[in-house]
Amino acid sequence: MKYGKEKKFMPLLIAIAFGLFGLSHLATFFGIAASLEIVLIVVRTIAYLLVVFALITKK
């Protein structure tokens, strides 16, 4: 586990982003994406921003 030993935030942020992507795909899989359209757009945007932030800071 990278974060625990070296306190690097990049793997942690990318893991959180993938978790958010997973939630949006899970909502699509269960068929509730239509009712949560705006929420899922916000969740995906946050996930993309986390990945970009993690790659820019590289800490």
Backbone angles phi, psi at 33, to 5 degrees: -70, -30
pTM equals 0.80
Spell out the per-residue pLDDT of the chain, length 59, in tens.
555 666 778 888 999 999 999 999 999 999 998 999 999 999 999 999 999 999 998 76
> Tell me, what's the pLDDT at 10?
87
> Tell me, what's the pLDDT at 59?
64
Burial annotation 22-56 (CB, 10 A radius, 16+ → b, else e): eebeebeeeeeeeeeeeebeebbeebeebbeebee
Backbone angles phi, psi at 34, to 5 degrees: -65, -40
